[in-house]
Structure 1
Amino acid sequence: MLDGGVIVRALAAPGRPHPHDVLIAGGGLATGVLLWTLRLHGGPPLFGLPASLTLLALTVMAAAELLRRTAPMAALVLALPALALDFCTGTLIATVLMFTDVVYAAVLYGPPGASRRIPLYSELLTVLATVVTAAVWRVPQVMLVGIGLALITMAPASTGLIIRNHRDAAQSARLRAEQTALLAEMDRTQAVAGERARMARELHDLVANHLSAIAIHATAAQTIDDPAATRAALGVIRENSVQGLAEMRRLIGLLRDPKATGEEPAATPTLDGVAALVEQARTNGAASGLAFVLDDARRPAGPSGPSSPRGPADPSGGRPPAPVELAAYRIVQESLTNALKHAAPGEVRVRIAHDPGGTLTVAVRSPYADRPGPRAPGSGAGLVGMRERIALLGGEFDAGPTDGPDGTVWWVRAALPGTGEEGRR
């Protein structure tokens, strides 16, 4: 019974015949005994050997069939002398057919090297036997010897090799498909994780600034018994509430289908909006004794002011790429939010500049306060988000307290590749 190579050796326990092999061996043995009993064999024994040895050859061949899957090379070693003995004692067709199956199984289930050598040896044996027989007898009928040997050696060996090649190709294709599916799943997981991290950064940067201002001024309104100060705090709270709600709506619009909702995504923030951030922080931090100053060294010389001092022209000759501008804007935004929460009363200075090599640098310095807790609660994800933004763009980031002549200050520094392809053109 030929199974086409679908069942591999792992299905059978080592040293224990597979159930299919037991059926093949038992069926071959029973058929051979029946043929011998009916005297349906090839002819009289040669060399004076007793006819009963035909049954011995049949039994050995059946034993080889039991090992066809668990020990295919040992089965072939047993089958070869059994076939020779069968030829010399009358030749039962059942023994010959079982031999062909043993050859087929040796190629299909044997080691890779044996599967390549057995077909070659069967071809050489067929050619050699045909040539020798023709040289001895010199009659046309000797060609039947070659045909018979080819049918019992070359044909099963070639069939086993073809099926093995197809099986190996199918296994390779299945492995490649599994690897492709695994890589696709890994890419999908990484894409989902990256998108979730990006959404978390955007949500934090968009809302945290407004919510921090609301919390700070709500605390001030509760603790200061001054109607004018309370009205001013409520005004700031309302303004930040409206702006925070608008930012949330824009973020939701980015996550929805604009065609289905009728909403258009908001424009990407740029460094031109940093002055508005500083002005808003100045308003929100006035009650905490914080003064905010913007030093924008990218701009050409112009009128000086508290939020736009004079500085050298932008040496890059063009705007930074949009992702760089967005990252720089978010760095300033998060740094100002952290200053509102943690900084001691004093000056908070924001500096933006282009280095001679075209690198865009952002630095925010604020007075360091060793307080037990912030003015407003936070998630603690601000510095993590800033580091992630800079790392994605291949820049450098540093944040922490630094001792200076004016005492301890908190520095946030970011260096970004500030010149894109458009700027270099």
Structure 2
Amino acid sequence: MTVPDDATTGQLLFSSQLGVFHRRIDTENTPGSLHGMFARQVLGDGTSIRWRVEPDLDAWLRTNVSRLEDAPALAVLGYVATAQPTRLPVFADVLVHGLEGLAGRDPYPGDRVTPLYSAGIVLGLHLAARAVQDRVPQFLTWLRKALSHPMREPNDPWLDLMHQHVLAELTGEPASLPVLAGLADHALVAAFYLLASGTGVARDTPEELRAAQHRAMHVFLRTDPAHLEVRHAALWLNFAEAVATASADQLVISVPQVSQVLRRFPPAMKRWVWDSAERKDPKWWRVDAEREVQAILWIMLRAVFDDVVDEENLPKLGHSAYRADFALPSLGLFIEVKFVRSKSDFKDVEQEVIIDSIGYLKDNERYREIIVFIYDDSCSTEHHDETRRALIDLPGIADVIIVSRPGVLPPADERKAVLSPGAAM
């Protein structure tokens, strides 16, 4: 009988905890759940959770017609606007009217009952305001003042840090975090969330940061998420998955870990540059074709996996020659990248992957699996699940990851308008 060593036991425990936290968060992974939407915003699409939090919008608007001026409902719409920007025209007027009403209220009334003491609501309101900022600029000012108001007295350090996160997003100035040695529980992982988001700056030394990370991981491995609120569980899972991604090259590399790195594409684009035309010497970083997406993925993959290679040439199959975008020989894995310009392209991509998968894997003793990565420039999110389901059951397809054009990048027609000859690049 083989006895697992300490490293193997630790990996098994870590993997088990990830699954338990996933299941806890899945209890709020239901259409219209504010806690579920907060969890999705924190975790993004860089997790194996299949999100189901977006409501049937028309039905939801009818059901909540009497509550559309209330902060929780407006927060839900803020999350929807972020996840499904193409649906914004359906409820933009509702957001404008509701946010105008909130901006006229005292954020800290005499009875001290304020929606600002809910992290899920504050984050959702910020997203809502960003979605319609050209029509309600005064709400962002109201929110910024409310989060820096002397009467603001959050009853928990983790909530204070989430306030600081939103305030940093509003001002563009990262918050100076408390010394991590003095933080515990949810506040500690909230601080790591700010660090990862670029909205917080640590004053700790590298050694102190590693000690705090070790302490947080020790707590994660011994925490039963059944006793946690889902919003807290989301921060803990975000921390643990970030550690797993950062430490991937120190672990036994697996195909799911490659998927996890690739699913970090949306948060990795947070600092992508697309300046306003009014800015002096504006810069516009183009993502107009498959090769630009490949360049971004190369940076992400090469930073973690030492043996990743690009454009792996394969033996001919009949008269056809094949060349994979990326490969990890140690895993027998290909990564194939596709670029979708319009919703009608999804059908073509499905056919291309079917053909490519045969050419890549037939009689190939070295490579056995393919991860398909699709960049959707059209933001046609309503087609993502159908395409994923069409491809995921194909022989040899290990995963299908579909991401949308980040909000910082305008649609293709607007990009062409500014990227005329002689424009800044």
TM range (shorter): under 0.3
TM-score normalised by structure 2 residue count: 0.22
More helix by share: 1
Report the structure number with the largest CA radius of gyration: 1
TM-score normalised by structure 1 residue count: 0.22
The structure with higher relative contact order (CA 8 Å, sep 6+) is: 2
